[in-house]
Structure 1
Amino acid sequence: MYQDWSYLASVLDFTPQGGIEQKTSGQIVGWSLPKQPNTELVQNAIDNTVARHKPDANDLMFHSD
């Protein structure tokens, strides 16, 4: 049985999708799943997102809790 911990960082897309209610997709667009909870966890999640979706850096905002 596998008992080691892994840590997940995910990047969600909250781009307004238009319309009166301005709904967002809320889709996971990037992630990282390492064995250590460190700054590389977040950086790898962002790098994964940029590599997969190639967003315009002028339109990005990043927030973490």
Structure 2
Amino acid sequence: MVIAPGYLDGRWTTRSWTGQGLRDKVGAGHLPLPRLLQALVNAGLVLEEFAEHGAPTPVVLDVRARKPL
């Protein structure tokens, strides 16, 4: 995996590592992992489980969280 310059910027981007998706065509909001997890905590969610999928480099992050009653 290559972390390109701008990874920590956390802004809308059309930079993509592949030409087969939507990111390079319409763009996507990017949050570095610490900011993403902090946003979930700030929303009052209790983080319960994480998983990554994709080989050889994960491209999907699953997060299970719940909102306390």
Higher relative contact order (CA 8 A, sep 6+): 1
Class of the TM-score when normalised by the shorter of the 2 chains: under 0.3
Normalized against structure 2, the TM-score is what?
0.23
Q: Which has the higher strand share?
A: 2
TM-score (norm 1): 0.23
